[in-house]
Amino acid sequence: MMSIDETALDPRAIEGRVRAPGFGGVVTFLGVVRDTDERGYTVAALEYEAYRPLALAEFDTIAGEAVAQFGNVRIAIAHRVGCVATGDIAVVICAAAVHRRAAFAACEYAIDAVKARAPIWKRELYADGNAVWKANDAHA
């Protein structure tokens, strides 16, 4: 259900990890690389690094917390590493539940927790050749 990938993420394949009979609500969040940052600078790409064993363990912990909070939900988390171009998907979070309310809540919880806690770091690469390591913001 959890992965860290060096190649393009397929949201439908990741969604397939959580779909199950009786689960009528499936919510998918896509984190897409923007072409400008919050200051208006032109972004060429994002470069992600992860400590894989700990990140995957944290993804599992987050999924367990979602089950504890929202009931019978299934969570899949996939994150890219390496260079991710603008317009490409950097993260996919899918949540499935019997009803939509729990699926939405679990999906939002999972992306916020991933951003706040997973050992994944990103560097913004700008069109002018400069680059800056960025802190994750769980509520951005």
* CA–CA dist 31, 52 (Å, integer): 19
- Per-residue pLDDT tens, the chain, 140 aa: give them: 999 999 999 999 999 999 999 999 999 999 999 999 989 999 999 999 999 999 999 999 999 999 999 999 999 999 999 999 999 999 999 999 999 999 999 999 999 999 999 999 999 999 999 999 988 765 55
Whether 134 is in a domain gets the answer: no
Side-chain-facing half-sphere of 66: CA atoms under 13 Å: 31
Domain with 67 in it: 2-128
Whether 114 is in a domain gets the answer: yes
In this prediction the pTM is 0.94
Counted domains in the chain: 1
For residue 79, the domain's CATH number is 3.90.1170.40
CA dist 23 → 26, 98, 107, 135 (Å): 7, 4, 14, 35
